[in-house]
Structure formats: structure tokens, C-alpha cells
Amino acid sequence: MKTEAKPNIMKIINDYAGKRRHLITLGRILAAISALMGLVPFYLLWRIIRIAVKGENLSRIPDLGWLAVGITVAALLVYIAALFCTHIAAFRVQASMRSRLMRRILTLPLGVFDEDGTGKIRRTVNESTAATETFIAHNLPDKAVAAATPVGLLVLLFAFDWKIGLICLIPAVIGFAIMMSMMGKGMQEKMKEYQNALDTMSSEATEYVRGIPVVKVFGQSVHSFRRFKNAIDGFGKWATEYTLMLRMPMTGFMTAINAVFAFLVAAAFIFTRDGITPDTILNVMYYIIVTPLLTVTLTKIAYSGEQEMVVVDALSRVDTILAIEPMQDSEHPAKPQDNSITLEHASYRYQDAQRDAVHDLNLHIPAGGHIALVGPSGGGKTTTAELIARFFDVTGGSIKIGGADIRDIPQNALMQQVSFVFQDSRLLKTSVLENVRLSRPDASEAEVMDALKAAQCMDIIEKLPDGIHTVIGAKGTYLSGGEQQRISIARAILKNAPILILDEATAFADPDNETKVQAAFAELAKGKTVIMIAHRLSTVVNTDCIYVLKDGEICESGTHQKLMEQGGVYRQMFDDYTRSVNWKVGA
């Protein structure tokens, strides 16, 4: 569902509301009726003042007073009924939006979460849908009230003394004109910039929180996370400029809508020059009481206009996720003949990037072969591995597994072919058993135990209070990075996929854990096609072939011995690595 440049908000909302859309209409009508009912007591108040000023039929004052109270209570009850209707519809809309979003997210390429960041997606799912719910539940009834109240007010202002009423409208008209000048297309763009700034901060904050352990270990400050600090500084700069831009019009608006009483005082002086009559006293007193409604009404209109801009932006962000095309399964599904991998002129460019992340890659990994991808940071190693697992679709060339183009292999079948072990393994807050079972939910407890043994995890299980039934993160039970890595390896062993991708899998392991992790990898890699991404070059010297990626292209390939003899990029990297390993304090 794609929104237009000027989206029909109610059409989109009604689509999400389904059968509950009629409740939105009913709620708006009831809110408008309650607003008009709420003005009737002001007429009754005029009658009470009139009786008091003229001193006639004083016995009617209590009756009129109680009638005003009764109508006020009735108006309140009608407004509550309006809110009841809009809230029911709002909850349905929010549930429908989140359900539709989650169904789409489940079908998206995994690479989308790397490109957009989980913080931005989470904020769209939570906060954009919440903004829409608030708009329907509260702002739509308020908009109906704000639309109906001026109609009733005009009647009240002109019914008793049209001259005073006209003078009271002057500041209201000025305030309304200033308000409209602040609510053009430019303001909608500013609202988009505001939400973008919040999205960026949310995403960067998520990454910052994940990196806090590293900050503490190395005694670094927030300045180590430049992107997060820049996001905060950028938002602060934008907020300051936005505030300064609106300073004068907002001052004018607030001055105008609160100047009604001053204009009323001027009107009183003008119309009492030739003497004061009971009718003049009556009308001036009445307008002193009723004109503050102008200020309240204009404030509601301004607020509802702002909220409408918020919901337009929220719907646009929801639509952005819904507009991402899911991975399409081929109409002619193919089945891999083996677990060999072939890249033929494979290229990929990230969205809005100026150049390819990887360009014209050609390589072949025979079934059961072990290769390594090495090279400077940003060379395209992880992108290449993610393309093989179809986190993205290549923008040029093709990738084949067992002779079948991965775009022709059904997604579920492809996921069964590939296991990933990342450098930063994450475990869910559930038992060790369920964490390992994620890769194969139907596995028995005995099969999980076998996988844990193969992954060198038994020392971890033995120290846990409830063994494999211990919930990670509960009651002070936590695992180190290396221990989490071994649990992730157990998960991969249980899955037993024929293709294994190791992305810097030993990067954060301590020496003791690294030994056990390497032993677990040796068990895991038996009979499988293995792709290793590593900066610790000592871990790749025995692979069948090493591919050196630089600036998204393969600049060298061959065995460790061959590449060392060539004396190129790999030789320089290996020499630098060896010096770093042999470095000692004071050496």
C-alpha cells in the first residue's frame, strides 16, 4: 500500500480499521454534537445574567442554572461515548498496522536490518503505530470539536451584539492567519526531518548501548562513538534552528489569540461613550465569559494540525517498510546438486551508495572446500558472505549453490543449506536448551546435548545451576563472549547445514575460549563447505584457498604459501599481523 505525496489519511486509516471504521465516523459525529451541546449553557448563562441585570423573574435563575448543569453533564457523557468509539477503532488500527508490519518484516531480506538498523525499524513498529493510535483515539474527536465549536461560537458572538462579536473576531482571525502560515508544506518537511533525527538517534543509541561493555573495558567516553554523539549534536542543532524559525510566528500567534480580552475592553469603551445601558452591561459581561472559548478553540486547532503532520509522517514511515519488496521465490524452483558455491561476475551496491560494495566477483568453492576471505576493513568480505546466504540479491551477476542460482532456491530450502556464526553472537533470554533449539525446533534434548558436547560446551553446562534448562540472563546467570560463541556453535552443529559461514567468529574470544572454539569449529566443519572471514590470519593458513578482497574486488587469491611468495597485499597483512602478535610491553 503506497501513500501519495498528499495522502488521504482517513482512507488509509479506514483501510486498517476494517469493520471498525464506522466507529471512527460515529465517534467524530458524537464529538461534534458534544461540542455544540457544550455551548448551550453559555446561552443559558446569558439568560441568567439578563434576568439578574433587569431584576425580573429571579425565581427562574435556579431552574436555568440546573438546566445548564444538566446539559453540561450530558455533553460530557456524549463526548465520553465518542472517545469510547474512537478508542475501540484506534486499538484495532494499531493492532492491524503492527500485524501487517510484522508479517512484512518476516518476509524481508535479512540485509534490510543491516542497512536500516534495528533501532529505526523498532521505532517505526512501536512509535509510528502508537502515534496513529493516539491520533485516532484522541485527536480525531478533538478535531471534530475544534471544527464544530467555531460554528456555534459564531452564532453566540453575533446573536446578541454583532458589533462586539465582530471586534472580538479580529484577533482570532489574525491568530488563525499566523497559524496557517506555520502549517504549510515546509512545516511538513520539518516534521519529517524531526522524525528522521529521532530515528537516527534511536538507531545509534541501540548500537551505543550494545557497545557499553567495550567502552567500560577500555575506559573510553561517549566520544568513542562518534556517530551517536553526532546524531545527538545534529538533533540539537536542528531543534535550535527550528525553534528560532518559529519564535516570531509563535509569539505572534499566542499574542493574538490571548488579545481577545484587550479588544473586548476597547469595544466596551467605544460602545459606552454615549452612556451605559443595562443591555450594554449584559452583553459586555456575556462576552467577557464567552470569548475565552476563542483562545481555547484556536489552540485546539493548532494542536490538531500538528498531530496531523505527525500521523502523516508516521503513516509514511510505516508505508516505507511495507513498500520494501520481500524476497521472491522463483516460479521454477531449483534444488542444489551439492554444496559447492560459485560466484559469477557478482556485484552488489547498497541503496543510495555511489559505488559497488563488491564488484565483479568470480570464485568457485568446491563441495567440502574450505576458503577464507581476508582483506582490509570495508573490502567487502561480510557483504560477500551475506550475498551467498541471500541476505540481499546481487545487483549484477549470479551466485550458485550446487549449480542452482540461489534466487531459484526456495528461501526455506536455502536457509537449510547455510549456517552462520557471527563474531558477536547473541543469545535470547531463555534456556540454553531453547537457545540451541532455535536452529532445529523439533530436536530432542539428547540431540541438543550431543551438539553441546561437540561444541566444547560441557564446562559451561556443568557450572550452570539448572544445566541446559538454565535461563540465560535470569538470576544473575550470564555467559562471557567466548561462552556465548560456543553455544552459537552448538546451534550450528545441531542444524548441520552443509555450508558454514564463519564471520570473525573468534574475534572476541579469550585464549582459553579460543582454543575450545577452534576445537568446536574443527568438529563443526567436518564434511562441510566452509567460508571463513578473519582478521586473525593464523586461523586461515591451512584453508584450501584464500581470497583477498580490497575495495570490493578480489585482488589476490591462492594458498597461504603462494600468497606469501607473491609478496602482495596478503604478505603485508600477514607480516603486520605477525608483528602485532609478537609485540610485548617494553619491546
User: For residues 367, 371, 377 and 382, what is the CA-based torsion angle, rounded to 10 degrees?
Assistant: 20
State the Cα–Cα distance between residues 378 and 375, nearest whole angstrom: 8
Amino acid 241 reads: E
Q: Does 9-322 match 341-580 in CATH topology?
A: no
Position 585 scores a pLDDT of 46
* Predicted pLDDT at 379: 86
Residue 437 pLDDT greater than 50, yes or no: yes
For residue range 18-72, list pLDDT tens digits in order.
888 899 999 999 999 998 998 888 888 888 887 887 777 778 888 888 998 999 9
550: Cα within 13 Å, side-chain hemisphere: 9
Task: Convert 268-284 into a string of H (helix), E (strand) and C (coil).
Answer: HHHHCCCCCCHHHHHHH
d(CA 49, CA 54): 9
137-174 in b/e burial notation, b at 16+ Cβ within 10 A? bbbbbbbbbbbbbbebbeebbeebbeebbebbbebbeb
- For residues 459-488, give the mean pLDDT: 82
Residue labelled with grid coordinates 511495507:
322
Distance CA 237, CA 240 (A): 5
More confident residue, 329 or 130: 130
Q: What's the one-letter identity of residue 400?
A: K
Residue 375 has pLDDT above 50, yes or no: yes
Positions of E strands within 338-488? 341-348, 358-365, 370-374, 396-401, 404-405, 418-421
Which of 471 and 268 is assigned the larger pLDDT? 471
**Position 252 pLDDT exceeds 80:** yes
Grouping H, G, I as helix, E, B as strand and the rest as coil, residue 103 is helix
pLDDT at 137 over 60: yes
Which grid coordinates are listed for 552?
A: 570490493
When pLDDT is averaged across residues 536-560 and rounded to a whole number, the result is: 88
12-21, 294-303, 306-315: which is most confident: 12-21
User: Terminal CA-to-CA distance of the chain, rounded, Å?
Assistant: 64
- In eight-state DSSP terms, residue 431 is B
The cell numbers describing 373, all together, are 576471505
The amino acid sitting at 401 is I
What is the average per-residue pLDDT within 189-195?
Answer: 72
pLDDT score, position 171: 81
Q: Does 83 have pLDDT greater than 90? A: yes
Specify the DSSP element, H or E, that contains 558: strand 553-558
Which range is least confidently modeled, 65-79, 129-143, 247-261, 380-394?
A: 247-261
Q: How confident is the model at residue 514 (pLDDT cuts 50, 70, 90)?
A: low
The pTM assigned to this predicted structure is 0.65
- What is the tally of helices (H) and strands (E) in the chain? 23, 10
Whether 435 has a pLDDT exceeding 60, the answer reads yes
Residue 143 has pLDDT above 70, yes or no: yes
CATH architecture of structural domain 9-322: Up-down Bundle (1.20)
**Is the pLDDT assigned to residue 341 strictly greater than 70?**
yes
Domain 341-580 matching CATH 3.40.50.300: the answer reads yes
How far apart (Å, rounded) are the C-alpha atoms in residues 345 and 500? Answer: 22
Q: How confident is the model at residue 512 (pLDDT cuts 50, 70, 90)?
A: low
**Domain boundaries defined on the chain:** 9-322, 341-580
Instruction: List, for residues 91-107, the tens digit of each pLDDT value.
Output: 999 999 999 988 888 88
Whole-number average pLDDT of the chain? 81
Contact 234, 200 (CB under 8 A): yes
Residue 216, pLDDT > 60, answer: no
Q: 468 or 58, which is more confident?
A: 468
Of 107-116, 129-138, 361-370, 439-448, which range is least confident?
107-116
Chain centre distance of CA 463: 39
Question: What was the pLDDT predicted at 400?
Answer: 93
Cβ neighbours of 352 (radius 10 Å): 6
What is the pLDDT averaged over residues 170-187?
75
DSSP letter assigned to residue 400: E
Q: Which ranges of 292-349 does DSSP label H, i.e. alpha helix?
A: 292-322
